[in-house]
Amino acid sequence: MKIECIKTYHLRCQLDQPFGFSQWFYKQRNVLVVQVIASNGMSGWGECYGPADVIQAAVEKFYAPKVIGREPLSVDATWHFMWRASLDFARAGVMTAAMSGIDMALWDLKGKALGLSVSDLMGGKQRDYVPCYATGMYYVDLPENKLLPHLLEEAQGYVDEGYKALKIKVGKNPEFDIEFIRAMRARFPNTILAADSNHAFDLSEAIKVGKVLDECDYAWFEEPLSPEHIAQFRQLSDKCITPIATGECEQTRFGFQKLLGSGGVQLVQADLGYCGGPSEALKIRTLASSQGLNMIPHVWGTQFNLASACHFLATAYHEPGRAEEKPLFLEYDRTENPLRDDIFTHKVVVENGKACVPTGHGLGVAINLDAMRPYVVCETETK
């Protein structure tokens, strides 16, 4: 069996309700999905996190011609072949994102070829269900005095659906953020809460907000600072008790080695569609484990990334380990997402705040090509 063809699909949908965070508003969703087809007709699917049109060019023009004809079951060998092929000029960024989608598709294909789930390939699942945290509470176009109660009511809906953990957006401005953080804790005294600023703060602002998160017993403070300023993570960590979480902007074990070397990060959040794919995510998890840290992936996109992260967490051992298991939460984005929710025939089932780990071969999710077709804005095929 050889890799015979690689197809890519840039998918796009307009949103009925735009939503915002600390940096900008989303009016549409874009994602690149990758299909790797073997000589026996079997195919695997993956996706890439990042600018879909740019990544599509990297897959079609650079990586796909190089991996055609390779053995699809030799996933790690193919990863290192791609890495070496672009080492001089693509050690991070959209090229590594392109590798990630191909790698994810190869994991899916290998599982299907061997009759195993990706959990099996990753070493065997430790659990059948993975607890989720609901990512939401994005901004809408309302004045702050109306936005705050709107966000609290949104959060109430997730709690009513059975979610035991929620992640809010902060970074609008410190004054509103602090009021929001305290209002959430007052409204939900028994819910696990986390806050994500999407690198909106400078160090002094992050310390100020971090102390309020300490006061309100938040589970983590996500992307409090720009990823450019690694040393500041340690400075923030020295001032706050709340664990610092980051990593969705970082890639490969080499990048994470630098990030974690500062000692200021307590929770690792690589994205399997961006960090180098599932192959590299496992190495990043081992690196984190060697420092006593846990990894819970960042998840954004379609069922392919969601399923990859679900399998990853199903196989995880929490650090440092104890008889009563520490939950490692799967991120479940609750914003409008037709590209995840409307075009798949087999999905990751999420009920009562828990994701059922797919048991089918490969990733265990399946896309409906007919349902996908209206969202395709550009398609490529390399043979």
The residue among 265, 313, 311 whose CA lies nearest residue 288 is: 265
Strand partners, 287: none
147 in Cβ contact with 135 (< 8 Å): no
Residue 113's contacts (CB-CB under 8 Å, 6 or more residues apart) are 1, 38, 42, 72, 73
Report the b/e string of 3-16 with b at 16+ CB within 10 A: bbebbbbbbebeee
* Residue 378 token pair: 């550009």
**Among 10, 199, 298, 311, which one carries the catalytic annotation?**
298
Cis peptide before 227 (omega within 30 of 0): no
Please give the biggest Cα pair distance in the chain.
61
**Can 80 be counted among the known catalytic residues?**
no
What is the signed CA dihedral for 47, 50, 52, 53, rounded to 10 degrees? -140
Pairing of strands 244-246, 3-20: unpaired
Please state the φ and ψ torsions of residue 308, each to the nearest 5 degrees.
-60, -45
Tokens 């709107």, located at residue: 150
Positive/negative CA dihedral, 340, 100, 7, 365? negative
Could you give the count of Cα atoms lying within 13 Å of 161 in the half-sphere of its Cβ?
A: 18
Report the b/e string of 156-185 with b at 16+ CB within 10 A: eebbeeebbbbbbbbbbebebbbebbebbb
Instruction: Give the whole-angstrom CA distance, residue 181 versus residue 186.
Output: 9
Local structure of residue 2 (DSSP, 8 states) = -
* Residue 271 token pair: 């994205």
Residue numbers annotated as active site: 298
